[in-house]
Structure 1
Amino acid sequence: MVFLALFTLITINRALFSPLTKLVDATQKVEQGKRQDVVDYLPKDEIGYLMGRFYKMSESVHRRHEDLHIKAHTDELTKVKNRITLYTDIENAIEVSQAEGKYVGLCFIDMDGFKQINDELGHEYGDVLLQTVAQRLKSLLRATDEVYRFGGDEFVVLLQSVRSAKDVEKVVQNLVESIREPILYKGHQLQVRFSTGVSVAPRDTFDALQLVDNADKAMYRSKQSKQGKVEHFVLEQA
């Protein structure tokens, strides 16, 4: 009789508290921002129903969190990344490329004449120009590379794990030639000149902030030349 009572108590304990323990563990994971995996088996009682509802709720919360994260880091107009994670991404790219014995290229692109198109034709045409340039850049990049809308009419391209500084130059030249192609929209030919500056790590620097600053300075040299050519950072000219 004692053994039967003990067995019954253990069975009830497992049936009641084991699901509750799993539920408590699940709430802790959600609190820590971790994704909660649904268990294969749920008890067919009130506790099982509660657990099932909780798992569905936590999955919905996780999906909304992911959507918000993507929106927070994506430029709404062009659908490429915004500048929020740029410096962190550069630091990670430099670390990976160093481990591989390769290079990181950073390309700063500014659209000369963009304001004129906005003023003369309207913001709709300017938006189409920005969107098309962003998608052309993205379509030519590898999965490991990234394009960012830095702000206004400026874009940044991050090239990771490139074999040589010379290869960085070739890739950038191909990108620029692609975005130079005129865009036809509602009977208008949209075309602007691009000022482009490039800096390479570790050739020029190991620092993310400095790499962006280098490419920015090279881009302004390109702008001053008014020839739309690609300028590469040179330490002596900094």
Structure 2
Amino acid sequence: MGGSQLSARREMADPANSIDPSEVAKFEAMAAEWWDPNGKFKPLHMLNPCRLDYITTQIATQFDRDLKAPRPFEGLRLLDIGCGGGLLAEPMARLGATVVGADAAERNIPVAQLHAEQSGLEIDYRHCAAEDLAASGEQFDVVLAMEIIEHVADPQGFVNTIQSLLRPGGLMLCSTLNRNPKSYMVAIIGAEHVMRWLPKGTHEWSKFITPDELYDLTRNAQLDPIDRRGMVFNPLSWRWSLSERDLSVNYAIAAVKR
């Protein structure tokens, strides 16, 4: 089912743009709540420490940086695609990276800009698609694509665009949701219907991508996968943690440009 699903999405998508207008509209409607830890983005606030653990470790390893240093990512240019309100862009800026945050949902940008200003951070936020940045010849050491590929119209085109945005030896970090019965129960039934952490319809299970499919998309784009980890929620401790084995629902991969 996976290959045919991805092929169908590619056929329907505009080859010059991976944006899905219906997906953008969902996040436009929630823009004002990005920094409310108990609002509609509560799941991302809960997940963020786990995501940051994975991101910072992979960047430090790839670029030989000491995370104990005051600004370990100084000199690295980083792009956060689908930056939302800046939940990842701000910690990356605090770690010293030069950060560009891009989002197709226009209402997210002023929210992110205001919060960065209030936090004393300089972040270059832009209302644009990844394809716009690629067309203008932008280049980055690191590209973050966290919880976004399951919302684009053309996953392969999206990863191809990321590849073009990376400098040789640059690092892509991508997280998404696996597609299987468990992920349907957890991410759709559990998160949207039972716990009501997210508005109903935030995710479409058919758009979820298996780890093997994401690896194939990555290799097809001339990127070399170097790592993948699950992000697992423990209902007893009410915390997320990284797992080398459990990729059954949320997971992330790292890949390097050849």
Max Rg structure: 1
In proportion to residue count, which structure has more strand?
2
Give the TM-score, by structure 1 length: 0.27
Structure in which a larger fraction of residues adopt helix: 1
